[in-house]
Amino acid sequence: MAGFAPPDSFRSDASALQLFPIRFERIGTDRFLVGNMVGDMEEMTATELDRLCALDLTPGDGLYERSFEKLFIGTVDQRARQQLLALRLRSRLSFLRAATPLHLFVVTLRCEHVCPYCQVSRQSQDRVRYDMDQATASKAIDIALSSPSPLIKIEFQGGEPLLNFELIRWIVVTAKQRAEPLGKQLQFVITTNLALLDDAVLDFCGEHGVLFSTSLDGPRDLHNKNRPRRGQNSYELAVAGIGRIQERLGPDWVGALMTTTEASLNRVEEIVDEYVRQGLDGMFLRPLSPYGHAIKTKQFHKYDGQEWLQFWKRGLRYILEINKSGRRFPEFYSALMLRRMLSDEPIGYVDLRSPAGIGLGALVYNYDGTVFASDEARMLAEMGDRRFELGNVREHRYRDLVLSDTLVSAVAESLTQTAPQCSTCVFEPNCGADPVYHHATQGDLLGIKPLSEFCERQKGVITHLFELLEHSPEDAAVLRMWAS
Ligand code: SF4
């Protein structure tokens, strides 16, 4: 009877190994994070990293298997592993095939709140010349529907969009009529403070599937301090609105966003408790953006990247405990990062992409018909910097806008794949280019990354999530659930 060949016969020849592109970063004493070009990462000691680079690996030594699994190495004669890397990279970049799914209509700049951190230059309620008109909206709908994405999301922004609700009605009905023969699917969201929510708005939104996104900064005193309005009742109106939408249309019909101000930094648990109390399905621990009134009132400079990271880590710890007690309640920024780190699915979030999401991920139609590459680009224009203005709905078609020199140069100049610092950064496959942020804060589309708070936050967030995934099994179970 023929016997089995000895185990050595099944071992591959270590001398035929080759090293694939890898990057690494020191994360502690004798601790390195090593990553491949599609974002898989592994922790190694300096000796292990040296051995990997020298291909001093032997089947069965553990490091060989870890390196093989993470696609750091392959064999010279097998192309399958390079093809796998290429396939995974293609999948991660597949958002480019369905360009511009998101279209933001700024239906008015008017607002009845006077928030000091507001990122747009809101106008007082009576200044109707800051409303979008039907002719402008009609042209914007045509541009939105001519973008390649089969699913088009139209988001109504302001100011306070409910101050121009008649136009929202018209846009929803008209866009649906025009989308049908084109075979496009539509989604609608109103970003509103909910102060003007009434039965007519609820009826219409229920009938046409229009969702709500609102702002909730935390408990009553914090929210009302951050979001002043006449009557000091922003919190009461927001919470009442959330309750009415949940009761009338369903719990999934409304989501909320918070903005971290200096006053929030020590109160993250109370903020999380407020979201849980309002029956919301998760929360996004967002830093302030450097635009509009947030700059004029110096709100943006009141805390730095490290202080935000401490706030986010403390909030994440508290949120993880809520999840471990049985309630599914994700922190949405972590969930987005985890999907990047644990899968090759393209994600819709425009700030975590390279090529950058400006224009290719979203277009913004301002009330006067000007088109911008992102909402932040519009905010920058309100501050007098029109670097990311792409054109006007009356003169330009979709192709003109996305192939404009302004957009093409901004996207090309900000690619992380080729940028100094980013191109050799272990976090690059899970990071993104944010040319508007870097232009606003550093006057440089690419950004001077050692001085960039965006970069500091990305490194801090990804490293922390990696460490939880690797060293804390109970937390890792929750984080993996969020990513799926
Ligand atoms: S921005 Fe920073 S973290 Fe992101 S890829 Fe560039 S260097 Fe790395």
Q: Report pLDDT digits (tens) over 249-261.
A: 999 999 999 988 8
Q: Are 87 and 71 in contact (CB under 8 A)?
A: no
For strand 389-392 and strand 370-372, is the pairing parallel, antiparallel, or unpaired?
A: antiparallel
Whether residues 464 and 342 share a domain: the answer is no
Can you tell me the distance from the alpha carbon of 249 to that of 318, in angstroms, rounded to the nearest whole number? 30
In a domain, 408, yes or no: no
Distance 337 CA to ligand 1 centre (A): 14
Whether residues 227 and 106 share a domain: the answer is yes
Q: Which of these, 378, 400, 453, 449, lies nearest to 420 by C-alpha position?
A: 449
In the listed set 87, 109, 144, which residue is the last one of a domain according to the structure? Answer: 87
In a domain, 459, yes or no: yes
Amino acid at 310: Q
Nearest atom within ligand 1 for CA of residue 428: 5
Q: CB burial class (10 A; 0-12, 13-18, 19+) of residue 353?
A: buried
pLDDT of residue 458: 95
**What are the residues whose beta carbons fall under 8 Å from the beta carbon of 252, sequence distance 6 or more?**
281
Distance 359 CA to ligand 1 centre (A): 21
In a domain, 251, yes or no: yes
Whether residues 147 and 193 share a domain: the answer is yes
Amino acid at 156: F
In a domain, 122, yes or no: yes
- Please, what is the angle between helix 305-324 and helix 268-277, to 10°? 40
CATH (domain of 275): 3.20.20.70
Phi and psi torsions of 397, nearest 5°: -100, 175
Whether residues 245 and 172 share a domain: the answer is yes
For the chain, give the secondary structure using H, E and C.
CCCCCCHHHHCCCHHHEEECCCEEEEEECCEEEEECCCCCEEEECHHHHHHHHCCCCCCCCCHHHHHHHCCCEEECCCCHHHHHHHHHHHHHCHHHHHCCCEEEEECECECCECCCCCCCCCECCCCHHHECCHHHHHHHHHHHHCCCCCEEEEEEECCCHHHHHHHHHHHHHHHHHHHHHHCCEEEEEEECCCCCCCHHHHHHHHHHCEEEEEECCCCHHHHHHHCCECCCCHHHHHHHHHHHHHHHHCHHHEEEEEECCHHHCCCHHHHHHHHHHCCCCCECEECCCCCCHHHHCCHHHHCCHHHHHHHHHHHHHHHHHHHHCCCCCCEHHHHHHHHHHHCCCCCCCHHHCCCCCECCCEEEECCCCEEECCHHHHHHHHCCCCCCEEEECCCCCHHHHHCCHHHHHHHHHCCCCCCCCHHHCCCHHHCCCCHHHHHHHHCCCCCCHHHCHHHHHHHHHHHHHHHHHHHCHHHHHHHHHHHC
pLDDT of residue 400: 96
Structure tokens at 389: 């203005």
pLDDT of residue 242: 97
- Counting as low any pLDDT under 70, the low residues of the chain are 1-2, 10-15, 113-128, 290-301
Whether residues 171 and 115 share a domain: the answer is yes
Whether residues 441 and 364 share a domain: the answer is no
Can you tell me the distance from the alpha carbon of 193 to that of 195, in angstroms, rounded to the nearest whole number? 6
Q: Using CA positions, which residue lies closest to atom 7 of ligand 1?
A: 422
C-alpha distance from residue 325 to each of 213, 321, 435 (Å)? 27, 6, 40
Whether residues 420 and 275 share a domain: the answer is no
Q: Using CA positions, which residue lies closest to atom 2 of ligand 1?
A: 455
Whether residues 180 and 234 share a domain: the answer is yes
Phi and psi torsions of 286, nearest 5°: -95, 135
Whether residues 253 and 353 share a domain: the answer is yes
Whether residues 309 and 449 share a domain: the answer is no
Q: Which of these, 156, 163, 165, lies nearest to 202 by C-alpha position?
A: 165
Nearest atom within ligand 1 for CA of residue 462: 3
- Pocket around ligand 1: residues whose beta carbon is below 6 Å from it? 416, 421-422, 425, 427-428, 431, 449, 455, 458-459
What is the total count of domains within the chain?
3
Nearest atom within ligand 1 for CA of residue 431: 4
In a domain, 432, yes or no: yes
In a domain, 92, yes or no: no
Distance 218 CA to ligand 1 centre (A): 31
Can you tell me the distance from the alpha carbon of 262 to that of 301, in angstroms, rounded to the nearest whole number? 9
In the listed set 59, 87, 115, which residue is the last one of a domain according to the structure? Answer: 87
Q: Using CA positions, which residue lies closest to atom 6 of ligand 1?
A: 422
Query: Could you tell me which residues are beta bridge partners of residue 52?
Result: none
pLDDT of residue 228: 77
Nearest atom within ligand 1 for CA of residue 426: 8
Whether residues 142 and 202 share a domain: the answer is yes
In a domain, 3, yes or no: no
In the listed set 58, 87, 116, which residue is the last one of a domain according to the structure? Answer: 87
In a domain, 480, yes or no: no
Distance 431 CA to ligand 1 centre (A): 6
pLDDT of residue 347: 80
Distance 212 CA to ligand 1 centre (A): 33
Whether residues 182 and 160 share a domain: the answer is yes
**What residues make up the domain containing 139?**
98-402
Among 449, 462, 466, which is best to mutate for testing ligand 1, by the most ligand atoms less than 8 A from CB? Answer: 449
Among 354, 427, 451, which is best to mutate for testing ligand 1, by the most ligand atoms less than 8 A from CB? Answer: 427
